[in-house]
Chains A and B, each alone.
Chain A
C-alpha cells in the first residue's frame, strides 16, 4: 500500500498529471456531466421560448446560439465523452490490461477535450457563440454571413476535439489488439468491449473528414480562402459533414448501447443471447453506416441514382440493429430478472430505441423525406435515439458501475425514482415532436395561427420534468459517495473481470496479470510466478506534458480564431507556439531518458497483431486516419475542378521545375531514411546517424524551397484570397508541409536518441512508415497541382 499524504495541493496536482486510465475515466465523467448541465440549461431556455407562440423570452440571435451550442455540446462534449469515460475505466479492466497502451496519450486526449470545450463555449462571452446550427452548413458559415468569432471558435474547437478523438482511437485499438489477458481471445471479450471496438473503428473513419472540413473552414475565416463560400460550397460541405455525421450517430449510440448487454445478463443471471450474432450485426452495421450519409441530402438535388442507392442502404441498416434488439430481449428469456435501477434504464433504453429507430426507417424513404426534412419529426427521431436509447444506456452504466468506481452503493429508491420521472418526462417532451411534422427546425418563434402552441407547451412541460429529474441523479451520486453502504468487490454477482478486483480497484488494477488460459482465473507476475504483485512503482504514472501541450494547442487555436478581429489574437497564438515547442521538447526528453518505460508483456493475447509492436501498429492506424484526411483535402480540390468551368492551365502558375526538384528531394529523403534503417538493423550507428541527418537536411531543403516558392507566388498576387485554385493549392500543400515539419521534429528526436545511445530499430522503422507516407502524399500532390 502506497504512503499517501492527503495534501490538498498534491491531490489537485495528481489530477492534473495523472495518466492512469481510471483517473482519466473519472475526469471524463465529471467533465462530460458538467457539459451536460450547460447544454441542458440551453435546452430549457429554448423550450421556454417555444412554449407559447410569438414569445420573446429569447430573441432570434440568442435562440440561434442556444440551439447551435446545445447540439454541439451535447453531441461532442457530453455524449461521446461520457461513453469514453466508461471505456477508459472499464475496457482495460474487462480485458485484463493494466492501463491503455499509451497512458500519456490518453491524458493528452482528455486535456485536448477539456480545452476544446472551453474554446467552443468561449464564444458566448466573446461577442456571440456559433449560431449556424451544429451542422454548420455552408455558406452561412462564411465571414460575410456570420461575422464575429463564434463560428471560428466553434470550428477551432471541432478541429481540436477531432485530434483528441483520433489519438484516443489509436490508443484503444492498440490496447484491444495487444493487451488482452492471456486466454482472452477476441471472441471471449465482453460484448461491451466489442461495442467500444466498433465505436473506435467508426471514429477512426469518421473524424478525419470532419477535421479536414474544419481546417478548410478555419482557413476560410482566418486566411480568406474560398472553400465554403464559392459556388458549389453548400454541396461539398454537406457531403463532407455528413460523411462524418452519419457514422457519428452510431459513434454516439454504441458506447451506451454496449452497456445494455452487460446489465441485461447480470441482472437476469444468464449469458447474453446471440453474442456472435450481435458481433456480426455490429460489423455489418459499422460497414453500412459509412454508406448511408446521403439520406441527409435527399432534397439537395443530388442525382437520383445516388439517392436511391442511399435509400436502400439506409433501409437495410435497420436489420442488424433489429437483430441486436431481438437478441437483447431474448437474453432475458429463462432468466431470473431483478428490476434494479441499472436494468430499468437498460430496458427503457431498448424500448425508446425501438420507437426512435422505427421513426428513422420512415426517413430512409426519399419520398417521405420531402415532408420530414428540416422539421420536428427529425428532431423527435434523433432525440429518441440519442437521449432515449443512448443516455438511458449510459445512465444504466452509471448505476451499474458506480459501486465499482466508488466502493459504495447508490440509493436504490432514488435511482428508481430518477428512472420513473425521467422516462415519463422524456416521452412527454419528445413524443409531441412527431406530431409537428410541418414545424421547421431551428425557428425561434412561431405564430398563433399555426396551431403548434399546444404541442409545444406539452413538450416544454415534459422538458421541465425531464431536466430537473436529473438533479436526482447528481444528488444520489453525491450523497452515496459519502454515505452509501459499502459495496464490496462484486455487489451484483457479475462475471466480467472488473468484478474480480476491489471496489475501487487499486492503482495497478489487479494483483498481477489476469490469466484465463486454464479456465480458472488466477494472477501471475511478469516473470511467470504466481505471486501477486506488491507495491508497484507508480512514480512513472505522472506527466505534466499532456496538459501543457493541450494548453498550448488551445492558445494556438484561440489565437488563430481571434487574430482577424483582435491583435491580442496574435500574442495568444505565439504564446501557444512557444509553450507547445517547450512541451514537445520536454516530452521528447522524457522519452530519451526513458522515464516512462512500460514493460513488454509477451504472454498477452495479441492475435492477429502478434508481429507488430505497439508503436508500429499505432503508426499504421495513424496513417489510416491521415489517408482519409488528405483524401478529404484532395477530394475537395477534385470536386471544385470538376464543377468549375475554368481552371488555370498547368504551368501557368506553378513552376513545374520547382515541383519536380522538390519531388526528387523528397524521394531521396525516403531513400536516405530507408538506408538509415538498414544501418540500424546491422548496428552501424554511424551509418544510422548519417542517414537520419541527411533525411533531415533533405526535408529542410524541401521546406525552404517551398517557402521560396510560396513567397514568389504571393508577390505575384496569387494569395490565399485569390480564389479556389489558390485556396486548394495553399491549404493542401500547406497541410502536407505541416506534416513534413512534424516529421522533422520526429527526426530530431531520433537523432537525439541516437547520440544518447538508446535508439531502437523498431522506432526508426515506425518513424519511417510515417515519413514514407508523407512522401506518398506528395507523390500525388505533385501531379495534381503542377502537372494536370
Chain B
C-alpha cells in the first residue's frame, strides 16, 4: 500500500512540472489550455482514486462525487453557453 502512494506522489509532481512547461512553452493557446486542463484532470483523478480511496470504495460511495461531477459539468456548460458569444457590448455603459 505504501509504495503506491509514493508512486502517485511522484507522478503528481511530474505532471505539475509538465503543466508549467506547457504554459511557458511556445504552443498555441488552444493546445496549451486543453493540455493543461487534461493534465489537471489526471492529477485530480489520481488523488481521488488513491488518496481519497475511491478506487476501493463501494459503488454507493463512488456515486456521490460522480453525480456531483455530472451536475457541475452541466452547470458550467450552461453558464458559459447561455448567451451567444459577442452578445455583450463593452461600449455600452456598465454601472
Contacts and interface: CB of A to CB of B under 8 A. Distances in A.
Nearest to A139: B95
A643 B85 contact: yes
Given A301-B83, A678-B1, A656 B65 contact: no
B36 A787 contact: yes
Given A231-B94, A609-B60, A776 B72 contact: no
Given A303-B81, A678-B1, A628 B71 contact: yes
Given A663-B16, A667-B12, A768-B52, A638 B5 contact: no
A475 to B, nearest CB: 46
A209 interface: yes
Nearest to B6: A671
B58 A779 contact: no
Given A779-B40, A787-B19, A303 B83 contact: yes
A773 interface: yes
Interface string A141-160: 01011000000000000000
A239 interface: yes
Contact of A780 (B44, B48, B95): B44
A664 B16 contact: yes
Given A675-B5, A678-B2, A787-B23, A290 B71 contact: yes
Contact of A660 (B2, B16, B39): B16
Contacts of A290: 71, 74
Contacts of A616: 61
Q: Is the interface of B mostly helix, strand, loop or mixed?
A: helix
Interface stretch (A102-110, A125-133, A617-625): A617-625
A614 to B, nearest CB: 13
B47 A635 contact: no
A765 B56 CA distance: 13
Contacts of A643: 83, 85, 87-88
26 contacts: A229-B95, A231-B92, A239-B79, A243-B78, A290-B74, A294-B78, A297-B82, A301-B87, A303-B81, A303-B83, A611-B57, A611-B58, A620-B64, A623-B65, A628-B71, A631-B72, A632-B75, A635-B72, A635-B79, A643-B88, A650-B23, A667-B16, A670-B47, A673-B51, A775-B51, A783-B39
Interface residues of A, number: 74
Interface in A759-781: 765, 768-769, 772-773, 775-776, 779-780
Contacts of A623: 64-65, 68
Interface residues of B, number: 57
A788 interface: yes
A605 to B, nearest CB: 14
B36 A783 contact: yes
Q: Is the interface of A mostly helix, strand, loop or mixed?
A: helix
Contact of B90 (A231, A236, A291): A231
A303 B78 CA distance: 11
Interface in A261-317: 290-291, 294, 297, 301-303, 306
B93 to A, nearest CB: 9
Interface string A679-720: 000000000000000000000000000000000000000000
A639 B79 contact: yes
Contacts of B60: 608-609, 612
Contacts of A229: 94-95
B76 A235 contact: no
A302 B82 contact: yes
Nearest to A145: B95
Contact of B76 (A144, A294, A635, A769): A635
Given A306-B82, A783-B23, 13 more contacts: A231-B94, A239-B79, A291-B74, A302-B82, A608-B58, A612-B61, A624-B68, A628-B68, A639-B79, A772-B47, A775-B47, A779-B44, A787-B19
